[in-house]
Amino acid sequence: MISTKGSDCIDLMSESNLKKVLSTYSECISCGAVIDDPSLMKPDRLNPGKYKSECSSCRQETFRLPFPSPQFLQIFKMIDECLKLNRPILALILSCTAHEAFMENFVFRLLERKNCPPNICDSVLDSTEYRGKVKIIENLIGKRIEKFAKEIKFDEYFVKLQKIKEKRNKFIHTGVVHKKIDKKIGDYTFPEYVDLDTEDLIMAVSFAELTIHFFAKLYTAYGKWEPPEWEY
Ligand SMILES: [Zn+2]
């Protein structure tokens, strides 16, 4: 995770762990556990391009998938590139999108593992906004997703998301976004509105990292395939 404040982008890039986190996790196709052990991604000689090893969770010899999946890699790479560009607002928008993409994917995954046909999963996703997806998740996992975050000691995750969303929405709807800082003049403090800066850039990239860690835990907790509840 990126450490503290810094003013130089080169320093930020060398401090960013985002790229490293992108190749840390992998997912077991059998039990659904997402594990932070790169050594599990062993190329399968019989199936070029695929990975196979003994899963440290279910102890079976199973195929493994990269996590995040290749479809998500692009957005995380773009977030990392924002460090070079020094564009806090772009990083904030993209990190929010990464979270929302994971939420959508998690709904699909939950439905799929409950034997919902893919065309119905797609239809559910197409016809629900973000809030609807949050509600579907709550119904299917039996608790609010914020409660799950608290249980795994990720209390701050949704607090950070809220802060990022506020800035993103302000920018999307008005084309500008400033933040309030307390400026000291002598013994007095005055509010001042300034452009987003390195602090916001760090917040966005750190949040993107946290998103990968959070969804790894969520996917692991709710990764099991369920047997059909009825038979014909
Ligand atoms: Zn497994």
Q: What is the pLDDT of residue 5?
A: 46
**Backbone dihedral angles phi then psi of residue 140, each to the nearest 5 degrees:** -80, -30
* Confidence check: pLDDT of 91 > 90: yes
List pLDDT tens digits, range 137-174: 999 999 999 999 999 999 999 999 999 999 999 999 99
Query: What CA–CA distance (Å, rounded) separates 98 from 161?
Result: 11
Distance 61 CA to ligand 1 centre (A): 8
Residue 202 CB-density burial (10 A; 0-12 exposed, 13-18 middle, 19+ buried): buried
Mean pLDDT in residue range 96-119: 96
What is the pLDDT of the chain when averaged over all its residues? Answer: 91
Q: What is the pLDDT at residue 231?
A: 61
Amino acid (one-letter) located at 28: C
Q: Which of 198, 221, 103, 200 is nearest to 158 (CA)?
A: 103
Q: Give distance in angstroms: CA of 199 to centre of ligand 1.
A: 39
What pLDDT, in 10s, does the model give residues 26-54?
999 999 999 999 999 999 999 999 999 99
The pLDDT score that the predictor gives to residue 12 is: 61
Please report, rounded to a whole number, the percentage of residues in the chain having pLDDT higher than 70. Answer: 92
pLDDT at residue number 32: 96
pLDDT of residue 228: 80
What is the reported pLDDT for 232?
58
Q: What is the pLDDT of residue 13?
A: 59
Structural contact between residues 96 and 163, judged by C-beta atoms closer than 8 angstroms = no
- In this prediction the pTM is 0.89
Give me the pLDDT at residue 150, please: 98
Cα separation, 41 vs 29, in Å, equals: 12
Please check whether residue 98 is in contact with residue 75, taking contact to mean a CB–CB distance below 8 angstroms: yes
Å from CA of 42 to ligand 1 middle: 14
* Position 98, amino acid: A
**C-alpha of residue 62 to centroid of ligand 1, in Å:** 7
Q: Which two tokens stand for residue 142?
A: 């039996």
The beta-strand segments (E) located in the chain are 25-28, 34-35, 51-54, 61-67, 178-185, 188-195
Q: Is the pLDDT of residue 112 over 60?
A: yes
* CA of 96 relative to ligand 1 center, distance in Å: 30
Q: Give the pLDDT confidence of 165-218 residue by residue, as tens digits.
A: 999 999 999 998 898 888 888 999 998 899 999 999 999 999 999 999 999 999
pLDDT band at 229 (very low <50, low <70, confident <90, very high): confident
Give residue 221 CA to ligand 1 midpoint distance, Å: 12
* Centre of ligand 1 from the C-alpha of residue 30, in Å: 5
In whole angstroms, how large is the CA radius of gyration of the chain?
A: 20
pLDDT at 10 over 70: no
Cα 58 to ligand 1 centroid, rounded to whole Å: 4
